[in-house]
Amino acid sequence: MITELVLTGVAFYLYKNWDKVVIRNKWKQITHSKAEFTNRLEKTLKIWSIERTEYGHIITVELPYSYTVEKLKKDLDIFKEGLHYKSIQIESEKNIVKMYCIKEFKFKEYTPIKLPPNKLLIADGLTGPIIVDMNKFPHMLIGGDTGTGKSRILLLILTNLIMHCDDVEIYLLQIRKNDLGVFNNCKQVKVNSKTLEEVLESLKEIDKECRRREQLIDNIKGFYNIEDYNKANKNKLKYIYVVIEEFSFLNISKGDTKEEKQIKAQCLKHIKTIVNVGRSSGIFLITALQKPTNDSIPSDIKAQLCTRVSLKIADEPASIVILGNGDATNLQERELICRTLGEQKGYSYTIYHDLIMQHIKDKIIEKEKVKKYAPPKPSNVDDILNLLNEINR
């Protein structure tokens, strides 16, 4: 009777945990397949726990002495193929590694998340939404091969920001592109500059605002950044987002005319001011790069872009330009890495025109009509007539 009970228990356990049993068996085979997985003390990569998730499993592993996380990153394909996963992403703390093993990731549709104006929603992470605090990691560079979804990430960031934050100003600078045109008439959008000349004008205006804020945010008064200033003052400063849809259009290239080179040089000068002093003033740059090379963005500007987001990049040197390492080459469709202090991995939320409109509709104003109905400024003739009336009285 007892034996039967024990056997039933074991059978039930195996039935319930069959996937975990299979993983442990395959794990044994993999770790015996390469001498480097076992150290001189005969210790190998040891599974601590296996957790089931909606996309696959989280396998927590202890690395043996002499086998590093860097080595594991290089060997990841062996585990991916051996365990039959689509993708494995790792997170490590010393020699304990969490392997996020993805069998099938169901893309989630964007649902709004209320955030303050300094926080941006980036993607659907493996452990929850990926949110970046621009006060901590100011300015953002988004990379990815063509068609991987960079514009969708920009659309998502702006939709969530515009929906929840009235107290922001957005400058859209999109030469030869118009993917962000959907936000044109949102009240938070100050300009949508399309030509080099318009972009320069907008950047001049932002640079001026940067300098004005530098005066206001005065250390002597105890203000070190926009947060300090806004806490102490009734007239709050708005966070400003400068979105350059494709940075390479602003970078000086051999084919540019003399005039274009001059305008671009001025644009780059203003962008440098923004990325150098923008953080404390609450002025942030967000930009994307389709073909990242070392000369597609000036290194002093790139160095100040603290948040890096990368979708799939086939070419390792290009991945290094965005992330500082080759990790973007291993990404799958809509999979991304968000790097601030550490790396977070996730997938872009599904977003499309109707969904955007549904969430921003209350923020759309009729900008042209506002201009039409604005009270006309008194002309010189009116001024003279008023003066004559005054004299006659």
Ligand X SMILES: Nc1ncnc2c1ncn2[C@@H]1O[C@H](COP(=O)(O)OP(=O)(O)OP(=O)(O)O)[C@@H](O)[C@H]1O
Q: Summarize the annotated binding site for ATP as residue ranges.
A: 144-151
Instruction: Tabulate helix, strand, coil % of the chain (nearest 5).
Output: 45, 20, 35
For residues 153 and 148, what is the distance between their CA atoms, to the nearest angstrom? 10
What is the rounded distance in angstroms from the CA atom of residue 63 to the CA atom of residue 66? 8
Binding region: 144-151
Within residues 274-293, the interface with ligand X by CB under 6 A covers 290
Q: Rule CB under 6 A: is residue 352 a binding residue for ligand X?
A: yes
317 binds ligand X (CB under 6 A): no
Q: Smaller CB distance to ligand X: residue 18 or 352?
A: 352
| Alpha carbon distance 292, 290 (integer Å) | 6
For the CB of residue 261, give the shortest distance to ligand X in the complex, in Å.
Answer: 24
Between 330 and 348, name the residue whose CB sits nearer to ligand X. Answer: 348
Stretch that binds ligand X, among 39-47, 139-147, 166-174, 364-372 (CB under 6 A): 139-147
Instruction: For residue 270, state whether it binds ligand X (rule: CB under 6 A).
Output: no
Residue 158 lies near ligand X (rule: CB under 6 A):
no
Under rule CB under 6 A, residue 351 binds ligand X:
yes
β-sheet bridge partners, residue 338: 309, 344
What is the dihedral angle through the alpha carbons of 282, 248, 346, 94, rounded to the nearest 10 degrees? -80
Q: Which residue is nearest to ligand X (CB)?
A: 149
Report in angstroms how near the CB of residue 146 gets to ligand X at its nearest.
Answer: 4
Given 3, 146, 379, 392, the residue binding ligand X (CB under 6 A): 146
Structure-token pair, residue 130: 């990926």
CB of 6 vs ligand X, minimal distance in Å: 51
CA distances to 3, 48, 229 from 157, rounded to whole Å, are 60, 37, 25
Please, what is the minimum distance in Å from the beta carbon of residue 123 to ligand X? 8
Does 312 contact ligand X by CB under 6 A?
no
Q: What are phi and psi of 193, to 5 degrees?
A: -85, 130
334 scored as a contact of ligand X (CB under 6 A):
yes
Minimum CB–partner distance for residue 74 and ligand X (Å)? 28
Query: Is 181 among the residues that bind ligand X (CB under 6 A)?
Result: no
Angle of helix 258-281 relative to helix 196-216, nearest 10 degrees, comes to 30
Closer residue to ligand X, CB minimum distance, 112 or 147 = 147
Task: Give the residue from 83, 77, 70, 162 showing the smallest Cα distance to 115.
Answer: 162
Shorter beta-carbon distance to ligand X: residue 290 or 319? 290
**Would you give the DSSP letter of residue 183?**
G
The number of helices, as runs of H, and strands, as runs of E, in the chain is 12, 14
SS3 243: strand
- 108 lies in the site for ligand X, by CB under 6 A: no
Interacting residue ranges for ligand X, rule: CB under 6 A: 144, 146-152, 290, 334, 348-352
